[in-house]
Amino acid sequence: MATLTFTGGIHPYDGKDLTKDKPIRRVLPKGDLVYPLSQHIGAPAVPLVKKGDRVLTGQKIAEAGAFVSAPVHATVSGTVKAIELRRVVTGDNVMSIVVENDGLYEEVEYAPALDLAASTREEIIERIKEAGIVGMGGAGFPTFIKLSPKKPEKIDYVIVNCAECEPYLTSDYRRMIEEPEKLIKGLKVILSLFPKAQGIMAVEDNKKDCIELLKKMTADDNRISVKALKTKYPQGAERQLIFATTGRKINSSMLPADAGCVVNNVDTVVAIYYAVFEGKPLMERIVTVTGDAIKHPRNFKVRIGTNYHELIEQAGGFKVEPVKIISGGPMMGFGIFELDVPTTKTASALLCMSEDDVSAMEPTACIKCGRCVEVCPGRVLPNKLMVAAIHGDEETFLKLNGMECCECGCCSFICPAKRPLTQTIKSMRKMQLAKKKK
């Protein structure tokens, strides 16, 4: 079968060999846990506890602050030490609940498993909502909203994003290899919400063993198919993924549901499994701790709220002095300036590099080579958008479809003149989006 793909994209060094063959190891946090109230898109969560309260593992400590929001749960037992501003990966200070870990891991009594056949649609969605599940691929959009489109009967495809196109990341890969049954059961939960939909597990073809395994395990289910995607960044970008798997196209102002699709990331689907069948809220995620500065790179099952310092420690510390540390992958992640930040629901990786490509390269004149145009999955003209952005020329920026940029970073990666295309276009987009909101 021909592998599915989109037009454009790049092939950066993928660095997945550092971690892909090592089993996931569970990490139990030792120090304080920090739970930012904004780990998702939407309104911040509202604390339900106050300083001095004792909390249990799995206890809801903050509730959704609005419709578009998500609750936050304690992932250890202990005492609320403070509710204060704490630094997060983006460099912002975010109001956070700080819990002092008592090391007992006393748990709340989890809700019983739902019987899918006997539960209503609303019950299932309520369970997912109360579990605080958000898109764990990076965006952090509350999952229950994705699962409640206006017309559920119009959803034709439920896609699990198993592409993992971001270099260095192997967390989804390990999850698929080690816990495929949970992933498949999670997908079946979503499929039960959309009676007419087909389930698609879309995997990049650099994970042949995953494709084989998932195919074997879903062979008897005619609602689920496993599709091989061409290995290329950004194959897992939502719009490109939908196109590659279904041939449907959406633009920046449309939602996947407009094309009859619901897309969820691997960890998110597994979180749905835990919420529905084990009654557990979202408390853990897989984080790839990797990079050439790390002594023992591997994947960890991490409790949300765990300090990044502890992850580095678990991975054996630094082999060499890191120059750059990225929360997330090298294409879409955040460069962080200190490790004293918590693991959030959307933190997929901690990448520590001994060299920094970006500061080593001086931007030079654009020679109009057109590489940015060739690789742009959004089919826009990055070089012209950058010029418009620098000049603050909104009219040209909008006319050249600047808002269709998905900020994937391909243009900056490929540019032989090392110009910060994505970054400049991103700033202009942010300004335009802010303006629209006013």
What sign has the CA pseudo-torsion 123, 126, 131, 134? positive
Between residues 167 and 305, which has the closer beta carbon with respect to another protein? 167
Binding to another protein, residues 58-97 (CB under 8 A)? 91
- Residue 415: phi and psi, rounded to 5, are -55, 120
The distance of closest approach from Cβ of residue 237 to another protein in the complex, given in angstroms and rounded to an integer, is: 10
Q: What are the structure tokens assigned to 133, written together?
A: 């599940």
Asked whether the beta carbons of 225 and 200 are under 8 A apart, the reply is yes
Indicate whether 9 belongs to the interface with another protein (CB under 8 A).
no
Binding to another protein, residues 219-248 (CB under 8 A)? 239-240, 243, 248
DSSP state of 362: -
Indicate whether 366 belongs to the interface with another protein (CB under 8 A).
yes
| Separation CA 209–CA 203 (nearest Å) | 10
Between residues 26 and 93, which has the closer beta carbon with respect to another protein? 93
Per-residue binding string, another protein, 258-287, x by CB under 8 A, is xxx---------------------------
Indicate whether 335 belongs to the interface with another protein (CB under 8 A).
yes
Cis? peptide before 234, omega within 30° of 0: yes
Between residues 113 and 398, which has the closer beta carbon with respect to another protein? 398
Q: Which stretch binds another protein (CB under 8 A): 65-73, 140-148, 281-289, 421-429?
A: 421-429
- Residue 69: phi and psi, rounded to 5, are -175, 180
Q: Which stretch binds another protein (CB under 8 A): 36-44, 104-112, 299-307, 359-367?
A: 359-367
Asked whether the beta carbons of 273 and 189 are under 8 A apart, the reply is yes
Indicate whether 412 belongs to the interface with another protein (CB under 8 A).
yes
| Separation CA 29–CA 339 (nearest Å) | 15
Indicate whether 10 belongs to the interface with another protein (CB under 8 A).
yes
Taking CB under 8 A as the criterion, the residue among 275, 325, 347, 389 binding another protein is 325
Among all chains, which residue has been given the structure tokens 């620098």? 390
Instruction: Please give the sequence-ordered ranges of beta strands (E in DSSP) within 230-296, or none if there are none.
Output: 261-265, 284-290
Taking CB under 8 A as the criterion, the residue among 56, 95, 373, 431 binding another protein is 373
Indicate whether 387 belongs to the interface with another protein (CB under 8 A).
no
Taking CB under 8 A as the criterion, the residue among 9, 12, 71, 135 binding another protein is 12
Asked whether the beta carbons of 104 and 77 are under 8 A apart, the reply is yes
